[in-house]
Amino acid sequence: MAPLTQTKTGRATVEPRAFSWTWLGVAPFFLFVAAFLIWPTLSIIAQSFLDQDRRLTLRNILELGRPFIVSSYVYSLQLSAVTAIGGGILGGLLAYAITIGGLPRPLRDAVLSFSGVASNFAGVPLAFAFIATLGQLGVVTQWLRSVGISLYPAFSLYSFWGLSIVYIYFQIPLMVLIMAPAFEGMRREWREAAESLGATSWHYWRYIGLPILLPSILGTMVLLFGNAFGAHATAFQLTGGGSQGNVVTILIGAQISSDALANPGLGNALALGMIIIMGVCIGLYTWLQRLSARWLRS
């Protein structure tokens, strides 16, 4: 730990004696991040432009155009978009209900702490929860059958819509966790000021409530999008992994364990595509955050 090396030099005075010494204090952090995050990621990005003989090439990138890869990206993007919007709307409405909707305070606390748990729900537990619910023998499936609606064979938990329903389970709580404080930041006086100026509830939401919240809502949905796009365990559990026509994360995972695709450069390019999409998400999210923070500063 670098601060220790400061024992002699930094002790006599509180002012940093030497510029370079001060920087040593954060060296462990940067070393760690460099070794386990930056260096590997950068080297993957670099390698996706190199062929097996370490010569510059665009072949790996062009390989991304292979139909099964394109369809896999499209599938992942669609899944992420659908679950971000679905989870965002449901989660947003739930966040609204427990904050300014006027429900009893204990409900709000219960939903928030439940959301903390459920947003980390993934993989086997989540997959099995839905198999027990909407699988062939699931509770809801059987209940629907008893009232004359048969989900199967039209529906499958392993289909696009099945996967979407499962993903939304962890998307809703993430939305709730991020949006609840935003709703609570809506000041009562804004609504009252609007009312005293003749506004109805519709006017208030149309001109004040929604415009103020929109950057946060969109930003959080972008975050949900990235959350779904990077998810691996749940899809792996439900679809068995490895098979074609699947989400991108599973394709990448398959690159590690097997040599299913002869070209190692392709795996790098897959990862690069993913990093770019996630980077765009975070950029968009940061921009939207700043937009809403600007208004709410005063």
Residue list 7-46, contact with other proteins (CB under 8 A): 7, 10-11, 14, 16, 22-23, 25-26, 28-30, 32-33, 35-41, 43-44
181 binds other proteins (CB under 8 A): no
Q: Shortest approach of other proteins to residue 67 CB, angstroms?
A: 22
The CB-based long-range contact list for 2-5 (8 Å cut-off, 24+ gap) reads: 2/26, 2/27, 2/28
Q: Give, as ranges, the residues between 253 and 282 that touch other proteins (CB under 8 A).
A: 253, 255-257, 264, 267-268, 271, 274-275, 278-279, 281-282
- Binding residue (CB under 8 A) for other proteins from 78, 150, 159, 200: 200
6 binds other proteins (CB under 8 A): yes
Q: With helix as H, strand as E and coil as C, how does the chain read?
A: CHHHHCCCCCCCCCCCCCHHHHHHCCHHHHHHHHHHHHHHHHHHHHHCCECCCCCECCHHHHHCCCHHHHHHHHHHHHHHHHHHHHHHHHHHHHHHHHCCCCCCHHHHHHHHHHHHHHCCCCHHHHHHHHHHHHCCCCHHHHHHHHCCCCCCCCCCCCCHHHHHHHHHHHHHHHHHHHHHHHHHCCCHHHHHHHHHCCCCHHHHHHHHHHHHHHHHHHHHHHHHHHHHHHCCHHHHHHHCCCCCCCCHHHHHHHHHHCCCCCCHHHHHHHHHHHHHHHHHHHHHHHHHHHHHHHHHCC
Q: Shortest approach of other proteins to residue 166 CB, angstroms?
A: 9
Q: Shortest approach of other proteins to residue 263 CB, angstroms?
A: 13
Q: Shortest approach of other proteins to residue 153 CB, angstroms?
A: 20
Q: Shortest approach of other proteins to residue 48 CB, angstroms?
A: 10
**Cross-strand bridge partners of residue 56:** 50
Give the contact letters, 57-96, x = binds to other proteins (CB under 8 A), - = no.
Answer: ---------------------------------xx-xx-x
- Binding residue (CB under 8 A) for other proteins from 67, 102, 148, 153: 102
160 binds other proteins (CB under 8 A): no
- Binding residue (CB under 8 A) for other proteins from 64, 77, 144, 252: 252
Q: Shortest approach of other proteins to residue 101 CB, angstroms?
A: 3
Distance CA 128, CA 137 (A): 12
162 binds other proteins (CB under 8 A): no
- Binding residue (CB under 8 A) for other proteins from 54, 55, 105, 297: 297
Closer to other proteins by CB, 62 or 109: give it.
109
Q: Give, as ranges, the residues between 212 and 241 that touch other proteins (CB under 8 A).
A: 212, 223, 226, 229-233, 236-237
